[in-house]
Structure 1
């Protein structure tokens, strides 16, 4: 295994035609189906980078920006944006193309944290990442900041440290009734 890799060595692109069997009750492609495809491509990308089996540790926020229609060609692109000791952050972008017009729309993007595992399920080291351009550096740093923000958010609302009184004013502008 190489000590460092360029992200292009493990990038993965897949395309799939969206069929009626992939649709939900409103006739749009089911979000759960797209999430499943996203998880598959994140696994493939992380496994190529680490040269071992990988598991999904977390999925960062997923916003469904535009609906995907039956008959559109969906393309998913995955790239390793960040590496830790045993984990990788894989960026996944989903686009759909109207086959007759060629119009492409960005449907969603997300970040999957994948962990490399050996045959016994123990986490194993992954190759480092060679950053070759401004985009690589931006994506790597963005992953660091996203992780720090998540830690801050998680700690801010720990049950043992949550100050109810300091948050009561916030609730006044929402459609809630408090009955303590």
Structure 2
């Protein structure tokens, strides 16, 4: 792995563990096994490196979600696969956790990939739900955009509840609850 890749990966890990404020250039360099000169050779500074790390994390999150979203199956089957996929629940969502970081949220450039990822996720879910509604799999009265926002909110809230309880159980209950609500919208054939 190149020095710039080690720096990006180390920053990704530290942002997930400590947030932006808690991630110092020195900690990044130590974890990456890179010197200060190497860091500043590849990146203009901590904000530039953090942006590269946040973008990479967001791209990875979208790619993982797309695996379930583009798989064969009904809309409900694909959303179920997405919600039930393996996750490191107690660490929280690597993108969602950034919303709790005031410095990331105050910086439009750093916040950009976070906003784009959640916009994409809500839009992709809404598209799948609309497709399911249009194919007669889901109740015609279902509002795809509102339902997609609710799914994302439950997922992110589930992470928070699990972290607060130091248990995956609240996350599993939240996901089970939203899946039950979605199943209630399945069209009867």
What's the TM-score, normalizing by structure 2?
Answer: 0.27
| Structure number with bigger Rg | 1
Higher relative contact order (CA 8 A, sep 6+): 1
- Give the structure with the larger helix fraction: 2
